[in-house]
Amino acid sequence: MKKRTYITLFLFIGTFRVLMAQFPGAVEKRSSIALEHGAHRLGKRTDAQMEMWRNYGLGQFIHWGLYAIPGGHWNGKYYAGAAEWIRSWKEMPKDAYDHLYKQFNPKQFDAKAWAAQAKDMGARYVIITTKHHDGFCLWPSQYTDYTIAHSPYKKDALKEIVAAYDAVGIDVYLYFSIIDWHHKGYRSDVPKTPEEKQAYEDFKKFTANQLKELLSNYPSTKGLWFDGSWDKAWVEQAAFADSLEAELRAMRPGLIIGSRFRADEFGRRHFDSNGDLMGDYEQGWERKLPATIEDVHGNDWDCVMTVPENQWGYHSEWRGHVKTSTELIEMMAKSVSLDGNFVLNFGPDGQGAIRVEETKLAKEIGEWMKVNHEAIYDCGYADLEKQDWGYITRSRKSGKYYLIIFNTPVSGALRIKVASGAGIAKLYDLANKTTTYNPEEIHRSKVEGDEYFIYLKERLTEPKVIVLETNEKEQDSDVLYEKAKT
């Protein structure tokens, strides 16, 4: 390449990068090809239902099914994998697992107690496993006998759960696994023989029927949370899954479905072959968090998190690191500061009881939320420079900023850079609004006009929130929403 060509290319890339940096949410397109089964919408959904989802902040995940009975052990042996996967362990006879439903009789199951605990924790939505990979249905599906109706419990546990959470004002989302180890037609690999192909067609019909059944049996549910859609066989079903998704959306206007349901015609999942998100929010943040706002590409997203390292269903013996409530609160604050929701998983045992460790965490998170929920609910990305002491969120409704502090700086001073020319109007503790930080305590930096140092009154022993109101002109929520979009 000639020197001039190099310079032109260099300048072009430079200009492009500068533009991209100004619009961190913009997705760098890999290509622009005509897709029949790619994303059907560009950018965020802006309807009321989705806005409600975006503003939840905190959710609860529940994994509950037959795997809760062995609880990660079989014949006295410890299973080192995730408890809900025990059926796939060589030590666990498949047949033995498939008969566990005959023992499913959770005497301590109390949906109202679960809902009350979730409410106390501050959760605003719940995702409940209606059917995990084992294929066992927590509702009396008319399309299989492998359901709770055929267990000694007999009753529709899902109905009890939906009613209990509805009653306390927590929105319900239904988890549904595309993997179904129990269904004869289910395949993980692409079916090859005509018999296999026919069997897989039956499985697809069964899947569609069950999903429609769930939506009509539980009309108050707000969305579907899909899982297990990575199988090669399913990835090939772009056209089928796309039309099924359209049917489900038509059945329930406003229904929320994440990016883990279907692939495009080239097998791309989550993001289609043009780099656009398929579904209403990104569902790829499992047991991990984005580092910066650029990582979320301007999309809605949720982070689903386990308490131990990788256990979703009940495992009677947790090994490895078990997260503390402060760690979980920090993950929640980080999620909201990057425009996402944080969803914490619970795995009730075979009797339907929520384990002591989870109950303790729910209580501690709830105590923090009672004081500080304003910094989490209806909040999102603040568009202020990230600081080492913690996270900044901003209310999409009031425009207030929340400084969620996890580490007291050695100097005792929190650095904050407000929007250019905004200036600080009010600064006070969220826990005690009378604890204000008056102007003498704010030493405006001489170096840069909009940078402040806020001197904390004490070293923190637990995360605390300071509310910051600036002199920015009042903006209506639409404008704020646009800003948060990045």
The single-letter code of the amino acid at 410 is V
CB 79 within 8 A of CB 310: no
Query: In whole angstroms, what is the distance from residue 202 CA to residue 241 CA?
Result: 14
Spatial distance between the Cα atoms of 111 and 281, rounded to a whole number of angstroms: 28
**Complex with ligand FHN: residue 86 or 354, whichever CB lies closer:** 86
Binding site for ligand FHN (CB under 6 A): 63, 82, 84-85, 227, 286, 304, 312
Extract the tokens encoding 118: 């979730």
CB of 401 to ligand FHN, least distance (A): 32
Nearer to ligand FHN, 315 or 396 (CB): 315
Nearer to ligand FHN, 302 or 378 (CB): 302
- Tell me whether residue 312 or residue 346 sits nearer to ligand FHN (CB atom): 312
The residue (of 82 and 128) whose beta carbon lies closer to ligand FHN is 82
Shortest gap between Cβ of 335 and ligand FHN (angstroms)? 15
In the complex, the smallest distance separating the C-beta of residue 134 from ligand FHN, rounded to whole angstroms, is 10
* Closer of 38 and 258 to ligand FHN (Cβ): 258
Question: Which residues, including other chains, have CB under 8 Å from residue 237's CB and lie 6 or more apart?
Answer: 204, 262, 263
Beta bridge partners of 30: none
Which is closer to ligand FHN, CB of 84 or CB of 272? Answer: 84
Nearest to 294 by CA among 41, 28, 30: 28
**Residue 19: its H or E element:** helix 3-22
- Residue identified by tokens 């409704």 is 397
Shortest distance (Å) from residue 82 CB to ligand FHN: 5
Residue 68 CB, nearest approach to ligand FHN (Å): 13
The CB-nearest residue to ligand FHN is: 312
Cβ neighbours of residue 266 under 8 Å, at least 6 residues apart? 35, 273
Chain center to CA of 42: 20
Name the packing angle between helices 111-121 and 356-372 (round to 10°): 40
Report in angstroms how near the CB of residue 228 gets to ligand FHN at its nearest: 6
Amino acid found at 49: Q
How big is the chain by its Cα radius of gyration, in Å? 25
> Smallest distance, Å, CB 226 to ligand FHN?
10
Residue 468 structure tokens: 């910051």
